[in-house]
A and B are shown apart, each in its own frame.
Chain A
Amino acid sequence: MAKPIAPTPDLKGKEAEKFLKEIASPDLKAVSKEEVLRGKRIFDTIMKNTSVFAKHAA
């Protein structure tokens, strides 16, 4: 049997403080337009392929 998926640790003290500050002010600069367009292109292609493949397989 493979190792189990590890539980996500809880954040406390300074780590929690840093994390909550981060989520209170998300930074748009963290993600580029190219990254999103890349994701869209891959997503659209895969979904199209999958749909066409399912039709052929039916």
Chain B
Amino acid sequence: MLLDQAILERLSPVSATADFDCGNPDLNEFLIKDALHYQDQLLGVTYLFRSIKAKEALAYFTVLNDGIKATNNLNRRIPNQKRHGKIPAVKIGRLAVSMPQQGAKLGSQVLDFIKYWFSINNKTGCRFLLADAYNKPETIAFYQRNGFSFLTNDSGKETRAMKFDLKPYEMRMAKADS
């Protein structure tokens, strides 16, 4: 697997990102110009997968705390003390793979990493992963292949909110450990 020879690096002012190119100007610009500002304001943290040998950035993702607000009478099934206005989630605000690495399922490996990372000991209480996916067939298909489903039926926007439930994942982890 490609990530066999990679390290995880939290974005910092000294991170070399200027040569990152995933083929999408918006995703490139976010990493090169905006990601550090998000981080400075504690609005999102960006991580890079960097190859050990060539030091090139293979992929990056940005994560931030989020939640899903669902208002319905069924909320009453949850006991009062546990009822919460929002179901806690982590949003994958951006995810991109550099052009030379595309087509090798690196994006799926990044998602596999994130799922496991946020499930292991579930440090902050996080039920869902959310993705802000470009509303393009190939992007939607990528997230669906990786177990994500639509959060809403609203298909008319530039991006679509997609969700991955970490509870079944955590249940499967527990089963695999036993």
Q: What's the tally of chain B residues with a CB closer than 8 Å to chain A?
A: 64
- A8 contact set on B, CB distance < 8 A: 66-68, 89, 91, 130, 151, 161
- B81 contact set on A, CB distance < 8 A: none
Task: Let me know if A46 and B130 touch, CB within 8 A.
Answer: no
Task: Let me know if A31 and B168 touch, CB within 8 A.
Answer: yes
The residues in B between 51 and 99 inclusive whose CB is less than 8 angstroms from any CB of A are: 52, 62, 64, 66-72, 74-75, 77, 87, 89, 91, 93-94
A11 to nearest B CB, angstroms? 4
Binding site for A on B (CB under 8 A): 1, 3-9, 26-27, 29-30, 33-34, 38, 44, 49, 52, 62, 64, 66-72, 74-75, 77, 87, 89, 91, 93-94, 109, 112-113, 115-117, 119-120, 127, 130, 132, 147, 151-154, 157-159, 161, 165, 167-169, 171-173, 175-176
- B5 contact set on A, CB distance < 8 A: 49
Task: Let me know if A30 and B165 touch, CB within 8 A.
Answer: yes
Which one, B4, B52, B72, B167, contacts A26 given CB within 8 A? B167
Given the interface contacts A20-B72, A36-B116, does A46 sit within 8 Å of B132 by beta carbon? Answer: no
Which one, B27, B68, B75, contacts A2 given CB within 8 A? B27
- B175 contact set on A, CB distance < 8 A: 28, 33
Which one, B3, B93, B158, B161, contacts A45 given CB within 8 A? B3
Task: Let me know if B29 and A35 touch, CB within 8 A.
Answer: no
- The interface residues of chain B, by DSSP majority, are classed as mixed
- A26 contact set on B, CB distance < 8 A: 165, 167-168, 171
Digitize A5-28: 1 where CB-to-B-CB distance is under 8 Å, 0 elsewhere: 110111111011101111110111
- Within the assembled complex, what's the spacing in Å between the Cα atoms of A50 and B51? 10
B104 to nearest A CB, angstroms? 13
- A3 contact set on B, CB distance < 8 A: 26, 30, 158
- Within the assembled complex, what's the spacing in Å between the Cα atoms of A38 and B1? 10
Task: Let me know if A42 and B1 touch, CB within 8 A.
Answer: yes
Given the interface contacts A8-B66, A21-B74, does A35 sit within 8 Å of B94 by beta carbon? Answer: no
- The interface residues of chain A, by DSSP majority, are classed as helix
- Within the assembled complex, what's the spacing in Å between the Cα atoms of A42 and B3? 7
- A36 contact set on B, CB distance < 8 A: 116, 169, 172-173, 176
